[in-house]
Amino acid sequence: MSWKRKGVLLMSIKVREWLRRLGIETTHEEREEIDREIERRTGRYCDSGVELLREAEFLSIVESVRRKRKKATVEPLVA
């Protein structure tokens, strides 16, 4: 999640580094959602919270965000 300090939006740097290191490409919206989920699970700002996670937990968060976003983009069929 982005945080505001003195009117400036701060995006997670370490989360982007993890994604880059693991070769995972995401949209801006997915990264924001990943940040929020890390903050929800750890109770900390995402950059300090990601340091508490194992790689498997981080990958689980990424996959859960992608599944949620994929479900949201699928439109229901109307018969």
For helices 28-42 and 55-73, the axis angle rounded to 10 degrees is 130
| Phi, then psi, of 74 in degrees rounded to 5 | -80, 120
pTM of the predicted model as reported, rounded to 2 decimal places: 0.75
Q: Does the pLDDT of residue 73 top 80, yes or no?
A: no
Residues 10-68: tens digit of each pLDDT: 668 899 999 999 999 999 899 999 999 999 999 999 999 999 999 999 999 999 999 98
Q: What is the pLDDT of residue 70?
A: 75
Does the pLDDT at position 3 exceed 60?
no
* Residue 7 pLDDT: 45
